[in-house]
Amino acid sequence: MGFKWSTRRVKDKVALARAMYQEFRPYDVGTYAVNHFIAKTGYRMKAHIAYGDSLRQHLDLYLSDQPCQGRPLIVFVHGGAWSHGHKQDYRFVGDAFACEGYDVAIINYHLAPTHIFPTSVDDLALALNYLHAQQHQLEIVTQNIILMGHSAGAFNVMSVLYRAQAYDLSCREQIRAVIGLAGPYHFDYKDDPLCADAFDQQIHYAQVMPYYFVEKNAVRHYLFVAANDKIVHPNNALDFDRALKAIGNHSEIINIARTGHISLMGSVARLFSRYFSTKKQILAALERALG
């Protein structure tokens, strides 16, 4: 995704688009391999649960086997420039955190270019209200909700909280923390070669970006930045962090060494987490948020 500067030369845009294309395709292959080798122990899975009427409005639930009353619920939203990705590609995320005692919901949402902003965020709001309303039937508890997203998914989890038209979230007061992994929170999508089709080009980005709509709350925000990210500029996190703190909200920036835009996400997998600090830092942040 472009998400870097408001003005760029055409050649820079083309180079960035090529880099993104090259990086996403190996990642798709990598997820197949990672998901093949996940342990699949410590939890049970409920697959393809409908939270809406559309084929894309489905989610997977990973229910931890750890005995704990009122287990926290992580709701994860995948990235992919709002035009790519599927919940089944992120089984390693459910595996990584369900084995640590968290229940995990991984959602699908409508994709661009057929569906543009705010449809993907609308889907997240619908999924959250569904999870809250059906918690007993789903064998989950929504007392402590953590929103987590990567890249475009990080934008979505922030936007469900911070948007010009606020969502009627039945579980808003139960959202304890939001974790954004390499998220684009403040960028100009005008003619962007990778994500322009995900937004109405006639609407200025200042009417869309969550940066402009932060409001006071008790949610704890953890903004993860990949040290070698060539896709999302770190100014997205820095700007958003300043905006949150300016109104007295909690916010922390957490830099992860030796990771890029894609490997930041992949590094949470049980297969790789011992070699990177990503998962350890997420778990530590959640312990602080829920403690």
DSSP string, 104-163: EEEE----TTTS-TTHHHHHHHHHHHHHHHTHHHHT---SSEEEEEETHHHHHHHHTTS-
Q: Is residue 259 part of a domain?
A: yes
Rounded CA separation 24/29 (Å): 9
Q: Is residue 4 part of a domain?
A: no
Q: Is residue 153 part of a domain?
A: yes
3-state class of 281 per DSSP?
helix
**Angle of helix 10-36 versus helix 91-98 axis, rounded to 10:** 60
CATH for 222: 3.40.50.1820
By the 8 A CB rule, do 140 and 45 touch? no
Rounded CA separation 106/127 (Å): 10
Q: Scanning the structure block, which residue is given the tokens 């700007």?
A: 239
Q: Is residue 26 part of a domain?
A: yes
3-state class of 40 per DSSP?
coil
Q: 22 lies in which domain range? A: 10-290
Q: Is residue 170 part of a domain?
A: yes
Q: How many domains does the chain have?
A: 1
Which pLDDT score is estimated for 36? 61
Q: Is residue 1 part of a domain?
A: no
Q: Is residue 270 part of a domain?
A: yes
By the 8 A CB rule, do 231 and 193 touch? no
By the 8 A CB rule, do 250 and 219 touch? yes
Helix (H) or strand (E) holding 16: helix 10-36
Which pLDDT score is estimated for 29? 47
| Lowest-confidence region among 57-71, 91-105, 245-259 | 57-71
Q: Is residue 201 part of a domain?
A: yes
Per cent of the chain over pLDDT 70 is 87
15 has a pLDDT exceeding 80: no
Which pLDDT score is estimated for 32? 56
